[in-house]
């Protein structure tokens, strides 16, 4: 296995030169992909509708093709689900990633072409390993196996030719043989639909395996890890998997989970590598050892546009190309892909932390914020305020959500938080004050509304009993897989639902 490990790490490092190329010439690489996407799709129904054969540059594309979301593309996708081809993309599309997303309770079926599998999702998976091996040249990663806790939906058939499932299930079902060899457990367990059954079987199936890497959404991984420890009677994961060295995480901000992972994996050399992967595509990978930002991956068959958040509701919003963005501004991410998503707003907001090379942070969702009083609190604000409150009160958060308290007669509005703690704050009132004070420091709109409690009063914070959010997610049919606890909402839908369950 040591020889195989050396061969694999050498192979992975060869890709570094290509990554360095798009880091050095980012705009040229993006222009090349734009030209390829337009040329490839010009004979599709969509390409003919918007006359792709006469599009010569991005500005023509921008003027001719309106911004899209799932609802606007849905009529085309529904025909593709029936087996119709050459609608949005020229090659056969036989796979769809089923996702409810976090902005809608309706199921979405995102087309996954063979090109997007190979040039985007698989390439992203290999690049995660490439960048890790580049930073840790002495890695022994390939002497063991990677434990992946993926989606909880089995592959389904819409008809004889069309299949669907969670993105992770679609990827697992199509993995090349070399990748399948290095993952655990077997697919018959990994793709189980019942999440609780899957956790139980995964725990027993992997407790005696030499696991060197982990990946998945932190919330659900913690459930698996705790079950493994219960079964084995061990006090931490290194007693179960002594060669564990790497955890790939994404989908949610890792900061609230970091302290829990340190307790589960008490090793200062443990490497935590953040990724930005969605049903629509693979967008970013942490390329530096220090956490907090990800390299925007520019050669995955995706052309990027960026919409300044302040222009989100404009009638004719003007988007920017990569060479026009600025540091530390919030942008809605818009993509055109090699699976036929055209000028598609995926619902995430990002900001650039570096322009040479282009590195990003995810700051939230375009529909997940609180702005009931003009305070414009986004997820990034909430995460930073909670991190500071936890730091100063020695608290650890397991999960949370928040929403507005509307004006009542004679009373100001406010924000209502429900927080499930892994470790309670030493002083709860101080925790609430710090949450409020930090929000005021980092968000001038929130600070203005808090002035003398005229519009917003001090936050109301509820301590949720252990297991509250898991129970709530289960009641909504969103337990496990790629589902995420909604952090912020501009209405009381989530807050009222959880409070009712807690009564």
What would the pLDDT profile of 383-400 be if each residue is shown by its tens digit? 999 999 999 999 999 999
Cα separation, 415 vs 461, whole angstroms = 8
The pLDDT value recorded for residue 373 is 82
Closest Cα partner for 141 from 327, 10, 316?
A: 10
Q: Of 96 and 177, which is predicted with more confidence? A: 96
Burial class of residue 346 in the structure, from the number of CB atoms within 10 Å of its CB (0-12 exposed, 13-18 middle, 19+ buried): buried
| CA distances to 105, 144, 155 from 220, in Å | 20, 22, 20
pLDDT exceeds 90 at position 9: no
Token digits of residue 80 = 């593709």
- What's the angle, vertex CA 331, arms to CA 329 and CA 337, rounded to 5? 145
Q: Where are the beta strands (DSSP E) in 356-496?
A: 358-365, 369-370, 377-378, 396-405, 414-423, 460-463
The pLDDT value recorded for residue 106 is 55
Q: Of 8 and 59, which is predicted with more confidence? A: 59
Q: Do residues 112 and 96 touch, judged by C-beta distance below 8 A?
A: yes
Cα separation, 166 vs 228, whole angstroms = 24
Placement of tokens 């129904």 in the chain = 45
The pLDDT value recorded for residue 103 is 41
Cis peptide before 269 (omega within 30 of 0): no
Q: Of 67 and 481, which is predicted with more confidence? A: 67
Compute the average pLDDT of residues 58-71.
95
Q: Of 30 and 218, which is predicted with more confidence? A: 30
Q: How far is CA 247 from the centre of its chain?
A: 15
The pLDDT value recorded for residue 2 is 63
* Beta strands 156-157 and 163-165, pairing class: antiparallel
Q: Where are the beta strands (DSSP E) in 382-484?
A: 396-405, 414-423, 460-463
Helices and strands, number each (H, E), in the chain: 19, 20
pLDDT exceeds 90 at position 156: no
Token digits of residue 134 = 């580049």
pLDDT exceeds 50 at position 329: yes
Mean pLDDT of the chain: 89
pLDDT in tens, 66-101: 999 999 999 999 999 999 999 999 999 999 988 764
Q: Of 102 and 63, which is predicted with more confidence? A: 63
Compute the average pLDDT of residues 35-61.
97
Which 8-state DSSP code applies to residue 335?
E
Other beta carbons within 10 angstroms of residue 262's beta carbon come to 15
The pLDDT value recorded for residue 374 is 78
HEC string of 149-213 equals CCCCCCCEECCCCCEEECHHHHHHHHCCHHHHHCEECCHHHHCCCCHHHHHHHHHHHHCCCCEEE
Compute the average pLDDT of residues 308-333.
92
The pLDDT value recorded for residue 102 is 42
pLDDT exceeds 90 at position 158: no
Cα separation, 192 vs 138, whole angstroms = 35
The answer to which of 93-102, 280-289, 314-323 has the lowest mean pLDDT is: 93-102
Cα separation, 27 vs 23, whole angstroms = 9
Q: Do residues 252 and 218 touch, judged by C-beta distance below 8 A?
A: yes
The answer to which of 164-173, 231-240, 329-338 has the lowest mean pLDDT is: 164-173
Q: Of 326 and 367, which is predicted with more confidence? A: 326
| Claim: this prediction has a pTM higher than 0.85 | no
């Amino acid at each position: 296995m040591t020889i195989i490990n050396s061969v694999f790490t050498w192979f992975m490092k060869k890709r570094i030169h290509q990554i360095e190329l798009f880091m050095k010439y980012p705009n040229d690489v993006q222009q090349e992909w734009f030209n390829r996407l337009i040329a490839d799709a010009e004979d599709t129904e969509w390409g003919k509708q918007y006359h792709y054969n006469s599009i010569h540059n991005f500005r023509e594309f921008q003027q001719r093709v309106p911004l899209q979301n799932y609802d606007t593309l849905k009529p085309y996708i529904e025909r593709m689900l029936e087996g119709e081809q050459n609608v949005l993309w020229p090659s056969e599309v036989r796979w769809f990633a089923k996702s409810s997303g976090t902005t809608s309770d309706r199921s979405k079926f995102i087309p996954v072409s063979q090109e997007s599998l190979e040039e985007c999702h698989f390439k992203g998976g290999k690049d995660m390993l490439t960048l890790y091996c580049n930073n840790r040249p002495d890695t022994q990663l390939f002497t063991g196996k990677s434990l992946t806790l993926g989606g909880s939906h089995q592959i389904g058939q819409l008809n004889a030719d069309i299949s669907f499932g969670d993105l992770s299930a679609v990827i697992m079902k199509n993995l090349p043989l070399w990748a399948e060899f290095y993952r655990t457990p077997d697919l018959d367990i990994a793709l189980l639909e019942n999440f609780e059954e899957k956790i139980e079987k995964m725990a027993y199936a992997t407790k005696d395996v030499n696991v060197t890497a982990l990946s998945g959404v932190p919330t659900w991984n913690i459930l698996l890890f705790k079950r493994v420890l219960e079964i084995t009677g061990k006090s931490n994961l290194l007693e179960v998997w002594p060669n564990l060295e790497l955890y790939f995480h994404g989908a949610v901000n890792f900061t609230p989970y970091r302290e829990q992972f340190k307790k589960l994996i008490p090793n200062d050399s443990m490497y935590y590598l953040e990724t930005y992967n969605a049903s629509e595509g693979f967008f970013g990978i942490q390329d530096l050892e220090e956490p907090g930002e990800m390299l925007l991956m520019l050669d995955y068959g995706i052309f990027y546009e960026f919409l300044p958040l302040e222009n989100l509701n404009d009638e004719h919003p003007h988007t920017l190309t990569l060479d026009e963005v600025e540091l530390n501004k919030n942008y809605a991410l818009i993509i055109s892909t090699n699976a036929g998503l055209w000028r598609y707003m995926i619902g995430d907001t990002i900001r650039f932390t570096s322009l040479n090379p282009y590195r990003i942070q995810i700051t939230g969702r375009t529909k997940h914020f609180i702005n009931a009083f003009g305070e414009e609190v986004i997820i990034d604000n909430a995460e930073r305020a909670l991190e500071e409150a936890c730091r100063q009160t020695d608290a650890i958060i397991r999960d949370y959500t928040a929403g507005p308290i509307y004006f009542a007669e004679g009373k100001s509005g406010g924000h209502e938080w429900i927080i499930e703690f892994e470790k309670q704050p030493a002083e709860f009132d101080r925790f609430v004050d710090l949450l409020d004070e930090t929000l005021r420091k980092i968000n001038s709109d929130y600070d203005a509304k808090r002035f003398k409690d005229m519009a917003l009063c001090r936050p109301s914070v509820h301590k949720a009993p252990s297991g509250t959010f898991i129970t709530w997610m289960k009641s909504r049919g969103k337990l496990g897989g790629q589902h995420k606890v909604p952090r912020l909402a501009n209405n009381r839908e989530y807050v009222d639902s959880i409070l009712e369950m807690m009564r």
